[in-house]
A and B are shown apart, each in its own frame.
Chain A
Amino acid sequence: MDFTLKTFLVMLAIGSLAGWVMHRSDFCLTGMVRDVFLTRSFLLLRALLLSVVISTLTFEILRRFGVSIQVFGSPSAAHLLGGIGFGVGMTLAGSCVVGSVYRFGGGEVTGAATILGLIFGSLIFFELAIPISGFFKRISLFEAATIPELLGADPLYVVLPSALAGSLFIISWARGGKLTLKSFIPTYLQPWKAAVAISFLGALSIFFFGTPISISTLYAKVATTIEAAIFPGHIARASYFSKSVAIPLEFQGGSITINNGPVTDTLFIAQGALFIGIFFGALFSAKMAGDYEVNFRIPPRQYLSAFAGGVIMAISARIAEGCNVWHLLGGLPYLSISSLLFLAGLFPGSYLGGLILKNRIIMTHGVEELRGK
């Protein structure tokens, strides 16, 4: 079968399963960091660690079997800055680049506002933020892209102790009942189960297409295509849009092609299929669970927050060379230093976003201190 067609079908299947799982569990990558500050809840952050531990092992197994994996770049200040910005954006939006898709699929219209914001933010990045991004990318720490590279060690000697240390935490949480939340509806999927499923879907994505699950470049491509339709001369003149790379995938028998211009490439095919899959997977899940409901009567400032959050996320993801899904579910298991910097930035960003959200958007400042009283 043709590599492009195979990529589309496989990613569509992965996306559909991911959408179903994410909707059932409300597996929110935004909440994993944000809830630490807003509601003092660590449940989703623990689920993230579980996912990272599983993926660290599966990615290494795949690498040992010769599966081609797209490598991560050298760390720079842009990853930290992008992480901070992304933290602000995702907290304001209430969901991330993937969360907005499964929520929209499940009937939440603010997800659509965030998706529009992500496309609009990509346009702003093209026109205004590329020089800023370039400046911060030049503030580089070192060439080594991963911890094993930095240590000059075989990845296995870093992967195994890291996975073991993470496993000890997970076992301790499992024994203490800290991985589960008391459920009140029969169709709720515990986040730890979703974390396991998403980890294996991420491994499948690498097995067939060489990259972890991510869809942020799709929004940039849609934005470029819209801009090219309106201002074709501008796109043709700008050097940014003429750049393209091809990453050969020997094991998979194809290549990842990435073109900044308004042309179809295999990354667009893969991410487009994931987007469609996640949307319809979540829609199917909601219909089956009987809780598909569309509500437009939402405070206008929440629409604005969802849109603005999308704009900030898109700009930040371009600066950080990847979104939260890419860095947390793909980069952290790969022991990428740029992803660790991105994660470090997400915490202050989410804290700042939480302050804006509580004081300016939903006006509930101070209530989280009431929990448990």
Chain B
Amino acid sequence: MMPEKPQEFVVDIRGQICPSTLLTALKEINDHRDDIRSGEVKIIVLTTNRNATSTIPNAAENMGYKVNVERENSHYRIEIGAE
């Protein structure tokens, strides 16, 4: 049974060199994959890299996760969780 409110695991990679953003996000998704799939954890990626707002969500969707992207102040918040 999926928990009501998943724990948020924040990956703050604002300002980092490209492609650290995508590779770091993929590593965190992999490290927490069981918890994400069970709905216990959501990965929150904070990034300033515009390219990452497409590459990370596309990669995560290909892996079968649900993704939401929104601008938060002057950076982007990418939320990756269970479908």
B15 → A minimal CB distance (Å)? 3
Q: Are A182 and B58 in contact (CB under 8 A)?
A: yes
Decide yes or no whether A299 CB sits under 8 A from chain B.
yes
Binds A, one of B2-10, B21-29, B36-44: B21-29
- Asked if A110 meets B15 with Cβ closer than 8 Å, knowing A290-B71, A371-B59, the reply is yes
A-B interface contact total, Cβ < 8 Å: 126
A30 → B minimal CB distance (Å)? 8
How many residues of chain B have a CB within 8 Å of chain A?
A: 35
Q: Which residues of A contact B73 (CB under 8 A)?
A: 293
Decide yes or no whether A28 CB sits under 8 A from chain B.
yes
Decide yes or no whether A243 CB sits under 8 A from chain B.
no
Indicate the member of B14, B22, B23, B59 with the most A CB atoms within 10 Å.
B23
Decide yes or no whether A173 CB sits under 8 A from chain B.
no
Partner of B50, one of A26, A31, A371: A26
Q: Are B18 and A373 in contact (CB under 8 A)?
A: no
A27 → B minimal CB distance (Å)? 9
Q: Which residues of A contact B62 (CB under 8 A)?
A: 371-372
Q: Which residues of A contact B48 (CB under 8 A)?
A: 106-108, 291, 293, 295
Decide yes or no whether A41 CB sits under 8 A from chain B.
yes
Q: Are A39 and B55 in contact (CB under 8 A)?
A: yes
Q: Are B50 and A94 in contact (CB under 8 A)?
A: no
Pairs A–B under 8 Å by Cβ, sample size 23:
A26-B18, A26-B51, A28-B18, A93-B17, A106-B50, A181-B55, A182-B57, A184-B69, A184-B78, A185-B54, A185-B69, A291-B74, A293-B75, A299-B16, A306-B17, A362-B17, A364-B20, A364-B23, A364-B24, A368-B23, A370-B30, A371-B59, A372-B63
